[in-house]
Amino acid sequence: MYEIWLMLVIVYEIALSIWPWLLALAVLWLLLLMLARGGRAGGWSTCLPKAITLGVLVGVVIFFVTPIWNKSGLGEMKYWVDWANLLGIAVAWAVAGTLFAWPLLTWISKSRQTA
């Protein structure tokens, strides 16, 4: 249990150190939502499968690239907490990729319909 608590504290401390970037990403996401919401109705449900596919691709890439960025490898991960941490990072990136791709793809498809 201590390892999980330590991992959560580390994630919290990292978020504290980059809070301006996180705030900028939140504002960008809200802007994308507003752009995708304007104009003609519809398009959200048709773009969701594409956004999920992009999010899953981002998660898979992050899963394999994160150990390399840390100058490590998948073979170096011996403890279950390491795997849980890597899987959590990949899932978080996949969710973030989906949440950003969905309004962006909806906005693009709506702009193509009006043009």
Q: pLDDT at position 17, please?
A: 93
| CB within 8 Å of 59: residues ≥ 6 apart | 90, 91, 93, 94, 97
The residue among 85 and 115 whose pLDDT is bigger is: 85
Q: What integer pLDDT is reported at residue 113 of this predicted model?
A: 73
Q: Is residue 42 pLDDT above 70, yes or no?
A: no
Q: Per residue in 57-86, pLDDT tens? A: 999 999 999 989 888 888 888 888 888 888
CA separation (Å) from 40 to 36, 43, 107? Answer: 9, 9, 10
Contacts of 4 by beta carbon, 8 Å cutoff, 6+ apart: 81, 84
Domain count, the chain: 1
Instruction: With cut-offs at 50, 70 and 90, classify the pLDDT of residue 4.
Output: confident
pLDDT over 70 percentage in the chain:
95
End-to-end CA distance of the chain: 56
Which residues, other chains included, contact 77 with Cβ-Cβ below 8 Å and sequence gap of 6+? 67, 83, 86
Q: Tell me the pLDDT of the chain averaged across its residues.
A: 88
Is this model's pTM higher than 0.75 or not? yes
Return phi, psi of residue 71, to 5°: 55, 45
Is the pLDDT at 39 greater than 70, yes or no?
no
Instruction: Between 100 and 6, name the one with better pLDDT.
Output: 100
DSSP state of 4: H
Range(s) of the domain holding residue 41: 2-114
Asked if pLDDT for residue 16 goes beyond 90, the answer is yes
